[in-house]
Each structure stands twice: as structure tokens, then as C-alpha cells.
Amino acid sequence: MERSSDYGAFMEKFVLKPSSSSHELPLNGLTFAVKDIFDVNGFVTGFGNPDWARTHSAATSTAPAVLAILRGGATCVGKTVMDEMAYSLDGDNKHYGTPTNPCAPDRVPGGSSSGSAVAVGWFARDPVILNRVGRILLQLPDVDLVRPRQIFIAEDCFQLSSIPNNRVSQVLVKSVEKLFGRRYEFKNNHGEWVTTVKPDLGPGISERVWEAIQTTGESIDICYSVKAEIIATLTTLLEVSIPLGMYNDVPVAISLLAKHGSDGFLLNVVETLYDTLQEQIAISE
């Protein structure tokens, strides 16, 4: 398949079929792609960078998430492009090319899972598939579709936040602006490899990586405390985004949130509401 026909989503193509007969399995007939950050037995996990691939051996096992989908009956068709070392939100990659955003070709696809996002936007925007795959990954039983009793529209998120405004300011201005904690973790995880190999990195990624390598450990404790507070607040919610079409030539979506532990419920709600949402979109247009 040429790049123009797959939007440049793939950096490597291969076929990995289920280990057993898939005729009676829930994902029979489906194909999937794997981000270049997940191990697949016998393949090198390249982390979005040829130098990383060159200096690492082929994986000797397959990531549990990939195994679960294979055992569910789907066929893997390759690995997708990602930001180098997962260290950007743009989705650019100078080595394998930047995947084309199918809905807005003049805009970046977003990252770091750019190829994966493009592949989903290209051929798999289907709530039924989302539900089937989600239940395999989460090991959830099949249940009948449900209708939610209440839906809350979060118009004033920050006003309803339990974190005081000055705390929000500290998080947004101090932590986000400096990205200190993220740099510190990157240095701890990959600093030795970067300084030894001196990899060829794309513009933007290279600057961020070397800034991270030069990071010191000052004030890291307060960054971790802020991180813990944010995680404690946000990880109680689950989210699924549903495409709503275009507005002013830009793709838009709506996010549905549910409480922690309601994975199956949220997957069912998305499938239940999807057709009605599409009908209302058509009417509004």
C-alpha cells in the first residue's frame, strides 16, 4: 500500500495472524496496527527513531495488550509512526514522515501516537468496534446496551474544581511552562542512551531532548506532589471522544466522561448515543 493511500500512518508493515482459528472469536475479521512503542516478539521496537532501533535487539516477547487483541481474533498488519521517543504532541517524524491528518490535511495529526490516530481516523471510527476491542482489552463481559439516566455538560470545569485557583495557576504556569518533571523523568529513563549514542533527532525533538538531558534535580519534590494531586483528581474519570464533523473547516469532537470503574458502561453509552449524535449533526448542518 502506497503512502498516499494509507496517509503515511505506517512505518513498517507485516502480517501477524492469531495463533489459533479465529472464526468464533469476537474480533474475527478485524485488523489492527501497533504503535512503535509496543513490543512484538521478533520485531525491534524502534521508539520512533532509527538510532534507537539500531541499538536495541528484537523483542523476545509480545506486549500483553497486543497479545490480547491477537487472541481475540484480530490480525496485526504493522507498526505505526510516532513522535520520536514519544517526546512531542505534534506527531511529526523526520525519519518516517509525518502522517497526514485525514480530516484536516493541512494540520498536524497530533502525537505522540500520530500514526495510530491517523489509522483510526482513516478506517476504524466505529463505536461498535471500539466496544468490542475495549471489552477484550479490559476483560469485560458482554452486556446489553444501556441508556444513561443522566448526562452532565461540564460548562464551568475550573469553577467546579476542588483545586483552588492559585493551585491551578501554579500547575499551569509553573509545571506546564517548565515541563520540569517530564524532563527529569526523561533524563532518568533515557539520558545515558542519548549521551552515548547521540541519536539523529528531528527538529523540535532534538532541542527538547537535550534540554531534558541538562535538567537538574532541583525542586523535583514539589513537581511530584503537584503531579500526584493532579493524578488523584483526574484518574477517577474515564473519557471517550466522539467525532462531530467539521466546524469552520476544523474537525471537532465531544467528550463523554464517566466515573472510575465504569469502562463497560461508557463503552455501551458511546455505542448507544452514536447514531443519534450523527443524526443531530446532519440536522444541524
Per residue in 44-86, pLDDT (tens digit) is: 999 999 999 999 999 999 999 999 999 999 999 999 999 999 9
The residue among 193 and 125 whose pLDDT is bigger is 193
What is the crossing angle of helices 127-138 and 64-71, to 10°? Answer: 120
For 144-194, the pLDDT digits (tens) are 666 666 666 555 664 555 544 444 444 334 433 344 456 777 888 888 998
Mean pLDDT in the chain?
81
Of 205, 158, 146, 209, nearest to 182 (Cα)? Answer: 209
Is pLDDT of 267 > 80? yes
Residue linked to cell 520512533: 48
CA distance 33 to 7: 14
With a cut of 80, say whether residue 93 has pLDDT above it. Answer: yes
Band of residue 17 on the pLDDT scale cut at 50, 70, 90: very high
d(CA 244, CA 248): 13
Residue 268: pLDDT above 60? yes
Residue 273 has pLDDT above 60, yes or no: yes
* Structure confidence at residue 222 (pLDDT): 66
Count the Cβ atoms, other than its own, within 10 Å of residue 204: 15
**Residues 32, 132 contacting (CB under 8 angstroms):** no
Is residue 240's pLDDT more than 60? yes
**Local confidence band at 213 (pLDDT 50, 70, 90 cut-offs):** confident
How sure is the predictor about 249, in pLDDT bands with cuts at 50, 70 and 90?
confident
Q: pTM, whole model, 2 decimals? A: 0.74
Distance between CA atoms of 158 and 135, rounded to whole angstroms?
A: 32
215 φ, ψ (degrees, to nearest 5): -65, 140
What whole-number distance in Å separates Cα of residue 139 and Cα of residue 88?
31
| pLDDT top residue among 231 and 202 | 202
Which pLDDT score, from 0 to 100, does residue 55 have? Answer: 98
Distance between CA 81 and CA 203 in Å, rounded? Answer: 16
Q: What is the pLDDT of residue 171?
A: 38
Kindly tell me if the per-residue pLDDT of 261 is higher than 90: no
